[in-house]
A and B are shown apart, each in its own frame.
Chain A
């Protein structure tokens, strides 16, 4: 009995430490953009947006054992939902009536709701199947969403895109530049709190049981299909929210921002941090955005180590590096690059310690 009490106390202490830690880190993350300059703010903002998507995906991959290759599709739906609602759904009144759309705040709120609704429709029949079905189905969904941008160009502007001039305003403050980035990172913190609390709760124990042994979990009365659906919908809603905020970061929506490779990049981000690791997902998003930025700089330099670079060099470099990253990580660190490296360092230190003791 006393051990149970101790454990309960320890759990409560852990929870408090976790919440305080996340809140402190979030406060720092929200303060940081005001110290950054110009282009760096944009980069930092993008890191936060992708982190939101990656947090949802790591939950799905880590606890439902399912991989979605279509998070970019939910991101796209969120972005165009908030964008089109802001400028007005009717393409004809958009140009003549400046008040055609709804308030940007409402548009951002609508983004995750629409993405989540789409996820319910896709998820119900597919989550009962083996992993590769959901992988391909979500990819198909992302491709459909992307193709619809062109097929429905009357609404979406097709390749010419949509320009969103209205700014997001919260409590009288315009959210652009540094304040937009701060808002995004605040939401990243909120998503972290929500996800970690979810995993530590009764729901989380069910999720962990599913992750370890699905048939056993089902046999002990866990409604596996329902939990998986909830995770899938939550992940889609986070991606939709990130997309909705992206609209007011980019102020322009065009198909190039939502290429199919983006969906695959989210998987790379999660694989860096580890399946089911929320902080890892954030680190993965930050890493990928930073590496992509650096590779683009490198690729546009014209020549590298005496070689003349072709105009496609930025794409070649980023596709090559990210492809190799994903292959190596899944081969050698299937539980994530960060956890793998930490584990390797720990075992090395143990071994060194052992040899020192024996020697």
Chain B
């Protein structure tokens, strides 16, 4: 039973990253209608920039700067992904972000090399809770995911900017009529989501080393979490991320480590298929 709880604890921590990426995808999708295929790249960028900067400064400062750098990169991604007004469809935007993800791999490979990078965790001690080891890094990840979920929900429901984000995706034409600039909306959403995902990446790298090519797997796991909530629910994306992480760890612990990605993806396929009963193509 201890093994089971240990796996669940680790699962919730890795699942938190999926949840963070999933909620970022939801935020961008709700504001722009675009599914950002390059979202996972932001997590990688956060981790790798932190690693490089931490050679010259304290880890905390390096992490903060990495989040800032990623947010700035995300604004550029936003402008490119939104494309040309009236010409770039949402499907075209998705393909553009696929291009950005490919291009980003080249840039990351050139800038940081191919070796997966990691650095020291918040603390190297671990709490012993009834035989289950809980590292502070795990707790931090789970906490950030939870705080992000609460923060994003309040932001989208209670603030003017948040409501503007939602409104502009619901009805772009009406949003423009009341004076919203769709490009600025997209930039805000991408930057916020980029910063959030970068925080996830910065916290992830000490437990799972990241390399230039990790982005794809992170994106697809995040998408699986987001699909759990139909790409629109922050709360369900959070739960989906946790659930996915736990399932993957249980597969690692009880079945075969080689199957964790396979099972996670299969779960996602089934989830999408199950969703398909509700939502029809437009």
Contact = CB atoms under 8 A, between A and B. Distances in A.
A137 B114 CA distance: 27
| Most chain B beta-carbon neighbours within 10 Å: one of A130, A139, A267 | A130
A122 B80 contact: no
Contact of B276 (A133, A268, A320): A133
Given A133-B276, A151-B256, A319 B92 contact: no
B57 to A, nearest CB: 26
Interface in B22-52: 35, 37
Contacts of A191: none
B107 interface: yes
Interface in A86-143: 122, 125-126, 128-133, 135-137, 139-141, 143
Interface string B95-126: 11011111111110110011000000000000
Contact of A140 (B268, B281, B282): B268
B95 A150 contact: no
Nearest to B256: A151
Contacts of A144: 261-262, 265-266
B209 interface: no
Interface string A264-308: 100110010000000000000000000000000000000000000
A279 B97 CA distance: 26
Contacts, number: 145
Contacts of A268: 99
B258 A150 contact: yes
A136 B73 CA distance: 23
B98 A334 contact: no
B94 interface: yes
A323 interface: yes
B96 A330 contact: yes
A252 interface: no
A67 B272 CA distance: 16
Nearest to A313: B110
B91 A264 contact: no
A80 B58 CA distance: 50
Given A128-B276, A136-B223, A323 B269 contact: no
Given A125-B272, A129-B275, A316-B109, A327 B80 contact: yes
A148 interface: yes
B280 interface: yes
Contacts of B280: 128-129
Given A323-B102, A323-B104, A331-B88, 13 more contacts: A129-B276, A130-B281, A136-B272, A143-B220, A143-B261, A144-B266, A147-B262, A267-B98, A312-B114, A316-B110, A317-B106, A320-B107, A330-B95
Closest 3 CB pairs of A and B: A323-B103, A326-B99, A320-B106
Interface of B: 35, 37, 80, 83-84, 87-92, 94-96, 98-107, 109-110, 113-114, 216-217, 220, 223-224, 227, 256, 258-259, 261-262, 265-266, 268-269, 272-273, 275-276, 279-282
